[in-house]
Each structure stands twice: as structure tokens, then as C-alpha cells.
Amino acid sequence: MAILDAKIPKGPIKDKWTTYKDKINLVNPANKRNIDIIVVGTGLAGGSAAATLAELGYNVKAFAYQDSPRRAHSIAAQGGINAAKNYQGDGDSNYRLFYDTVKGGDYRSREANVYRLAEVSGNIIDQCVAQGVPFARDYGGLLDNRSFGGVLVSRTFYAKGQTGQQLLLGAYSAMNRQIARGKIDMFNRHEMLDVVKIDGKARGIIARNLITGEIERHSAHAVVIATGGYGNVYFLSTNAMGSNATAAWKIHKKGAFFANPCFTQIHPTCIPRSGDYQSKLTLMSESLRNDGRIWVPARIEDAKAIQQGQLKPTEIAEENRDYYLERRYPAFGNLVPRDVASRAAKERCDAGFGVNATGEAVYLDFASAILRYGKEQAKIHGISDASEAKIIELGKGIIEEKYGNLFQMYEKIIAENPYETPMMIYPATHYTMGGVWVDYNLMTTVPGLYCIGEANFSDHGANRLGASALMQGLADGYFVLPYTIGDYLSNDIRTGAIPTDTPEFDEVEKEVKTRLDFFVNNKGTKSVDYFHKKLGKVMWDKVGMARNEKNLKEAIAEIKQIREDFWKDIKVPGGLNEMNVELEKAGRVADFLELGELFALDALNRNESCGGHFREESVETEGPQKGEALRDDTNYKYVAAWEYKGEPSEAVLHKEELEFNDIELKTRSYK
């Protein structure tokens, strides 16, 4: 078990990062010019890392499967980014952000990493503003904040409903400056298909040029994986269509441990599914829960009438509405953390109170916020006898200013006006807290191989708080990795360029080519999507919001079967040496078919309920928390890091015991 050393620096938590930075080895500027780093993925983590490493003087090769780094899925993050600036003077501090994140993660994250995250959070905002990121401001010209789920302060910075876009464009602009200087060599429309190790160290990758189909060798002194999460294992998720786990899974198969795959976030506010043709689900930012109230009909007959299209939500009287989050969790109300809100929605819908024709939706209602803002505006504008129509008009103006683009997005998809009738929402897979295991340096169990952003496991424990993904991606890329990787690379200053004409590269390239050859020559009868949808259904039904031993065992057997069928019957039209979208998808789904099984295995192993992982066997049976998730700190206070051994089911479990010295372990209550 010595292999799982998290390398957490000694000393008080407040000093760890500072002391660490003071003591690490540095690479002098002249030597940086002789060191190459590969960064795979150009979202917030990869983009910010690539730009910063290039600024420092390293030679960076960056890879993206899209036609530009600006299109990585970080761009779709809507609501905001957390930072412990305490600009609102509401009692925020690094410690409080650290505390909220550890508690929100249900005490399954590593204290030292999270504290460091909180510590650098303020720098991120400073850096982004310096880059020209147009954050929302108040009339005094200072930065505005909003509040997100699971916290009691306003620490979320935002740029309308497009915060991810603006932050990514900031990182992208920093990359562009380095591309222009020749310090970043940008490989758009390229996909990493495997990692190459030499003497146990990561020294390069094999990538496919997605336009020509050419298989390329790229070498470097270190490799950074920043390829995001694996939510598309469910087929339907809020991820982009191309979001995939291939890079993360490939490095897992080459020795990087994979941690806590069962910790997956099902986001409570997404637009509900409408039919079998559905290709993805669309998120409605959590920021909407600042002003929207969530409810379902209190009477089952009303719910039935709505499902059959005989009743409209606006026709249900106030007393016949069940604002179930406000009822169950009076302290946090509609702003409970995501996992709690999602399960509560599922509970109501399973009990038959869901709306929409499918019965799988709840309402998110802005009527009372429109009135509240309208009255406030009437006062500000000195309208003393404002009519209700005027109040509503004024209120709608404020709601439009805050959430206009989200409302427009909703209306485009559902063809209903959310200013007039409540939105319908339902939980959907959104983010994966689990991922590649990394130590304090963000290095995987393979030397020289790093993993940052959503692709790693470290900061969010079993549940991520809203507006923390952007924070972590940029913290890793701008402020953490550039230090930690230098410590490793200081031993490589005499290595010289890594040649690619070596047996190690030959071997991995051959593996990659063999697999691609197989796909185009198999001539089976079923498309890639056929298998992906089958996998997704098993994952959602049996490894979704609520899990139990029986279902998980079935899921493992079923996924194995789908995988066998896939390799027998997959059909990929087109050739190798050309753009071939089906071929790209085939490789990604092949990896999801293995990852899905490990995911279910991990969920089966963890017989406790914590964060996004809910085991039906583990709930509070009495007291005020009756029916709520029951965490088991005696048996499961560890990170489950899995080592690949040939088949997902044969993976070996390594435990990183979590120590909580600065936060007292408590039952997570939002009552």
C-alpha cells in the first residue's frame, strides 16, 4: 500500500502550500527551453495550464479534439466561479470556503488539496480580471456576487449566464498569446489514443489526426491529462457530444489508478427528456435556484391531471403546491446541495407527483421572485401606486437581466415561456467527482503523468458544490500544476529531447493501430450509438441516483455482456486514413464500456451513502434525519483507488485513508 502516497506536506494546513512552494526544486529559465510538456485537453484546466507553462518558458504541445481550444466543454458552464474574496463582507474566508467544500463533498475529499484550492481562489479572480474577463459588476463598478447551493455566503463571481465561456475565452486568449510566440504548438482536431511510457515514466502520446486519420507520435518530458469527466458513460448527460474518457481510461490501463468512479453528480436542474431520439440533456444553471422555487402538486389527482395535459401549473392554488425542498430543508430551502435536491426530486416523481407527460419533471417557478423584484424596483423608481401588471413587468426585467439567456435557451427547447409558466426540470448526469487518482502534486501513480481539472478525483469528494468546477480547473492549471511539475522536471534538465523512434513508441502505436484496424474491418451489424445507448440505460437504471447491491451486481453482468456484443457486432463504415466520425465514437464507447463496469464495481464496494453516491441499504432509520443518506465513516472514510489488472472486474482496490485534522466529521445536515 506504500504505493499510494499522497505526498501531503507536513505542517499546519494554513502553511502547507506556502512551505511547499518555498522548498521545491525549480528549473532555471534557460533549462525550461529544453523541456517539452504535452497537455491533452484545452478546457479551463488544460488551457490555463498550457498557457502558464508556456509563459514560464517550457515548450508546450497542446491537443484538442475540437477545431479550437475555445470549444472545450468548460465553455458551457453557466452560473459562476467561487472565490473567497469576502467582497460582500458576509464572513467569508479561505477557511470557510475550504470548510464548505469539504462538507459539501460529504467528507470524502483530501483536506490539504481543498485548502490549497481555497487559498488560490482569490488569485483566480484577479488573474481573470487582468485578462479582460467581463465579470458582472454593480453600479459602483465593483464585482458582483451571487449565492450557490450548499453555502451561506455570496462568493460566486459570474458573467451573465456564460461564466464558463468567459473564463475559457480568458484562458484561450492567454494560450493565443503563447501560440503566437511559438511557445505552444497547438494540435486542433487531434485525439490522444494512448500514452507512451519509457523506463516507467510518461514520455509521450500517440494521437490521431482527425482530419487525415494519420497516427502521430509526440514525445515530451511530462504529460498532463486535462480531458474532463466521464459523464457520457450514461449516454445522456449535460456533457458535450464528444466529451469522452478515452485519455483518462487509457492512462488507467497503463498504470494510473482510477479513484472513486461511483462519485458522479446528478444535477437537479436540467431540461427533462422528451423522447428516445434525445441526444443530450441541457443544464439550467443552479443559479436559478437563487430565485426559483421548486414544487410539485401536493395532491396526486392534480399531478395526474397535469401529466395527462388536463391541468396547467398556473391553475394550481398556492395551498395545493408542495414546495418540498423548503418543507424538508427549511435552513437551506431551494439552495440545498445538488445531490440532496436531485434525490428529493426523484423521491417526489417516484411517488407519482412528477409533472410533464413522462411524470419525470418538477417545477421551477419564478412567479414569486418576479413579484418580489417588481416591488423593489417600483420603490427604487419611486412608483408608489404601481399596478400588479407594472410590478410584474418591472420584476420580469430584473429576471431577464439575471437569467435572460437561460430563459431563452429553455424557451427554444421546450417552446414554453418560462416568464409566464414555471419551468420543468429534472436531474441529469452532469459532473464526475471521481477520476484519475493524483497526489498533492497532481501526479498520477505513473511518474511524469499528471491529471488536472475534472479528470482527476481530488477536490470535490463525493459531491461538488456549484461554481467550484471552474475554480478547480483554473486553480490546477494557473496556480498549482505550474509549481508542482517544475519540482519533477528539475530532474530532467539533462535528459535532452525524447526520441520517438524507440521500441516503446513502436509498441504503443501498434496497439493503437490494431484496434483501429479492427473497428473498420469488423463489419458487424450494429452502430456505435446502439451500444452506447444500451450502456447508458443500464447505468441510469441501475447505477443512477439510487443504487443497491442487487442492481449493481446485475449492472456489472449486463455491461460485461454489452461489451462482448460490442466487440462481436460493431459496425464502423468508412476508412482509416480519412475523417471518420464513427471510428472516433467507436473508440470512445469501447472505453466507456470498460469504465462503466469499474464504476458499478466501485459503487458496489462502497456500501454507504455519501454525496452523489446513494446506497438504498444505507439510510438513517430514526431521528430528525430519518430517510436521509447515512454515511459510514468507520468503514469507508477512504479514497477507493483502483488498479487495472486486465479486466475491469479484476481491478485491485487500494485505499487512501482520509484524515480530517482541521474539520470535524459531522453528519451533513441542511435541515
Q: Which residues are catalytic?
A: 338
**From 582, 632, 633, 662, residue interacting with another protein (rule: CB under 8 A):** 582
Q: List the interface residues with another protein, window 608-667 (CB under 8 A).
A: none
**From 27, 112, 169, 335, residue interacting with another protein (rule: CB under 8 A):** 169
Between 569 and 620, name the residue whose CB sits nearer to another protein: 569
Among 90, 111, 86, which Cα is nearest to 101's?
A: 111
Element (H, E) at 279: none
CB of 269 to another protein, least distance (A): 14
Select from 119-127, 214-222, 500-508, 607-615 the region that touches another protein (CB under 8 A).
119-127
CB of 355 to another protein, least distance (A): 16
CB of 110 to another protein, least distance (A): 22
Element (H, E) at 432: strand 423-432
**From 160, 304, 372, 513, residue interacting with another protein (rule: CB under 8 A):** 160
Please compute, for residue 599, the number of CA atoms within 13 A of its CA located in the half-sphere on the CB side: 36
Select from 166-174, 251-259, 536-544, 595-603 the region that touches another protein (CB under 8 A).
166-174
Amino acid, single-letter form, for residue 467: A
Select from 30-38, 103-111, 444-452, 575-583 the region that touches another protein (CB under 8 A).
575-583
Between 215 and 619, name the residue whose CB sits nearer to another protein: 215
Between 158 and 353, name the residue whose CB sits nearer to another protein: 158
Q: Is 458 in the site for another protein (CB under 8 A)?
A: no
Helix and strand element counts for the chain (H, E): 19, 19
Q: List the interface residues with another protein, window 300-359 (CB under 8 A).
A: none
Q: Please return the burial class of 277, using the count of CB atoms within 10 Å of its CB with bins 0-12, 13-18 and 19+.
A: exposed
CB of 57 to another protein, least distance (A): 11
CB of 666 to another protein, least distance (A): 33
CB of 137 to another protein, least distance (A): 4
Between 310 and 408, name the residue whose CB sits nearer to another protein: 408
Select from 169-177, 373-381, 499-507, 588-596 the region that touches another protein (CB under 8 A).
169-177
Q: Which residues pair with 204 in a beta bridge?
A: 196, 219
Q: List the interface residues with another protein, window 265-294 (CB under 8 A).
A: 274-275, 277-280, 282-283
Between 473 and 482, name the residue whose CB sits nearer to another protein: 482
Q: Is 73 in the site for another protein (CB under 8 A)?
A: yes
Q: Please, which residues have CB within 8 angstroms of residue 424's CB and are 6 or more apart in sequence?
A: 271, 272, 355, 356, 361, 362, 363, 364, 414
Q: List the interface residues with another protein, window 170-209 (CB under 8 A).
A: 172-174, 176-177, 179-180, 188
Q: Is 254 in the site for another protein (CB under 8 A)?
A: no
C-alpha dihedral sign at 131, 137, 141, 142: negative
CB of 571 to another protein, least distance (A): 7
Q: Please, which residues have CB within 8 angstroms of residue 338's CB and are 6 or more apart in sequence?
A: 149, 150, 265, 266, 267, 268, 286, 430, 463, 464, 465, 466, 612
Q: Is 574 in the site for another protein (CB under 8 A)?
A: yes
In the chain, the N- to C-terminal Cα span, in Å, equals 39
**From 19, 31, 93, 131, residue interacting with another protein (rule: CB under 8 A):** 131
Between 288 and 528, name the residue whose CB sits nearer to another protein: 528
Q: Is 361 in the site for another protein (CB under 8 A)?
A: no
Q: Are 364 and 422 in contact (CB under 8 A)?
A: yes
CB of 108 to another protein, least distance (A): 29
**From 8, 31, 34, 87, residue interacting with another protein (rule: CB under 8 A):** 87
CB of 186 to another protein, least distance (A): 8
**Rounded Cα distance, 485 and 278, in Å:** 42
Between 159 and 364, name the residue whose CB sits nearer to another protein: 159
Q: Please, which residues have CB within 8 angstroms of residue 313's CB and are 6 or more apart in sequence?
A: 306, 355, 363, 365, 421, 422
Cell triple for 100: 464548505
Q: List the interface residues with another protein, window 511-540 (CB under 8 A).
A: 527-529
Between 535 and 604, name the residue whose CB sits nearer to another protein: 535
Between 283 and 639, name the residue whose CB sits nearer to another protein: 283
Element (H, E) at 358: none
Among 226, 239, 322, 337, which Cα is nearest to 280's?
A: 239
Q: List the interface residues with another protein, window 222-251 (CB under 8 A).
A: 238, 240-242
Q: Please return the burial class of 252, using the count of CB atoms within 10 Å of its CB with bins 0-12, 13-18 and 19+.
A: buried
**Rounded Cα distance, 563 and 542, in Å:** 17
The most distant pair of C-alpha atoms in the chain lies apart, rounded to whole Å, by: 83
Spell out, one character per residue from 395 to 424, where the chain touches another protein: x when CB under 8 A holds, - when not: -------------xx--xx-x---------
Amino acid, single-letter form, for residue 442: L
Instruction: Using alpha carbons, list the distances in angstroms from residue 465 to 121, 210, 274, 409.
Output: 14, 35, 28, 23
Q: List the interface residues with another protein, window 8-67 (CB under 8 A).
A: 48, 51-52, 55, 66-67
CB of 143 to another protein, least distance (A): 6
Q: Please, which residues have CB within 8 angstroms of residue 650's CB and are 6 or more apart in sequence?
A: none
Q: Are 222 and 450 in contact (CB under 8 A)?
A: yes
Element (H, E) at 269: strand 264-270
Number of residues counted as binding another protein (CB under 8 A): 80
Between 127 and 468, name the residue whose CB sits nearer to another protein: 127
CB of 668 to another protein, least distance (A): 31
Among 123, 116, 103, which Cα is nearest to 19's?
A: 116
**From 11, 12, 132, 496, residue interacting with another protein (rule: CB under 8 A):** 132
